Structure 1
Amino acid sequence: MSFHWKSEDSDMTEENVSENMSKAKQKELQAAEKTEEPEDLKQLLVKAGEAGSYEDKLRLYDKALTLDPLFLDAWIQKGFALDRMGKSKEALDCYDRALEIDPENLGIRCLKGFAFNNLSEYEKSIESYDEVLKVNPDDVFSLYQKGLALESLGRYGEAMKCYDNALDIDPTDVLIREKKLRLLEVIYKKGTLTDSPDSDFN
């Protein structure tokens, strides 16, 4: 499964991961001719999507999971809602439960990367994106997000390589190009990368 999407901004990017992941999973299930979720479960997700607050969404996700504790989309969407509420540790628990159901789902690993980033656990965020890149090394989204995490750690040379790799794959991505230029400005102002383990970057 590929997660090569445009990165308009961090919020929209995160939502794209969640939405595209659900669509991709639905197509996989249909292709495998698996039984669709009962109508009441699907309706709960529809209602959750229309709910005006994350608290209301969580109540509906919890109701769905009471009916079916293995309902993958409910675990993913519950994790997403918790992360948006600033409850990233609880979100990670949901994503781990989702991975128990679907261990090969790369989108969930991307969402874990977001949650770790929100907790300022940048090393773990990088590990999450690396897991995706091992399977799909041309995933522009994961390269970009990994670059952001590396930049937060002051590892500017490695971050620049991520942005360069992403632009090699998709030279039209304006956001990544702008981010690369901003990072170059930071590097030039510092005049050195001695605070970074990759000071041999040139």
Structure 2
Amino acid sequence: MTEENASTKMNKAKQEESEATGTTEEPEDPRKLLTKASETDNYEDKLRLYDKALTLDPLYFDAWIQKGFALDRTGKSKEALACYDKALEIDPENLGIKCLKGFAFNNLKEFEKSIESYDEVLKIKPDDVFSLYQKGLALENLDRYGEAMKCYDRALEIDPTDVLIREKQMRLLELIYKKGTMVNSPDSGYN
């Protein structure tokens, strides 16, 4: 029996044993672990796989982002921010991570920090419709309606076909109309 045949038989025996006991051996390649994590809907399993990938490669950028996203989705936004900070250590110029930090800060009701995150993106990419929209949402949560409206207006100048932003703008106008003012807004002369 050749060495290759012996190895193949051993791997097959391991696989059969794993199937018989109901366990499956996880890959040792961090990229394969992320692929496996993407195939499950269970966030605990995802997090376990991300942790294993990061044990194998602590500088695996995508694993830090995915782990942060999963943590944020499960209400662990502070832990998500720590993951995003790790990812930013690897790629400090990544605008996507700054947007994800804005989401996490929103979930923590830290709207000023959320706005700061989106402003970092907008300094570099002033026509980023997504960041303008998200900044508008954070401003609304602070009752800064005039500034929020300016964000929505600017986003619609860039992409006039965005139905979601147009609907949000209309709901904000309705809210302003009902209140009769842009309470606490530094731009109270907007209406």
**TM-based fold match above 0.5:** yes
Q: Is the counterpart of residue 155 in structure 1 residue 144 in structure 2? A: yes
Following superposition of structure 1 onto structure 2, how do residues 128-143 of structure 1 map, counting pairs within 5 Å?
128-143=117-132
Which whole-Å deviations, capped at 9, do the CAs of 1:46-100 have from their partners, x for residues lacking one? 0000123100000000000001100000000000000000000000000000000
Matched residue type, 1:133: L
* Counterpart pick for 2:160 among 171, 174, 189: 171
Q: Which has the larger radius of gyration?
A: 2
Partner of 1:123: 112
1:183 to 163, 168, 172: 172
In the alignment, does 2:44 pair up with 1:92? no
Question: Is 1:77 the counterpart of 2:66 in the alignment?
Answer: yes
Q: Tell me the TM-score normalized by structure 2.
A: 0.84
User: Structure 2: 5+ residue runs without aligned partners?
Assistant: 1-27
SS in 2 for 1:200: helix
Equivalent residue runs for 1:22-101 within 5 Å: 40-101=29-90
What CA RMSD, in Å, does the superposition of the two structures yield over aligned residues? 1.3
Secondary structure of 1:52's aligned partner: coil
Q: Is the 8 A contact 2:144 2:183 kept in 1?
A: no
Q: Which structure exhibits the higher relative contact order, with contacts defined as CA atoms closer than 8 Å and separated by 6 or more residues?
A: 1
Shift of 1:192: 1.2
> Percent of counterpart pairs with the same letter?
82
Letter in 1 for 2:121: V
- The structure 1 segments of at least 4 consecutive aligned residues displaced by more than 6 Å after TM superposition are none
- Partner of 2:189, secondary structure, is coil
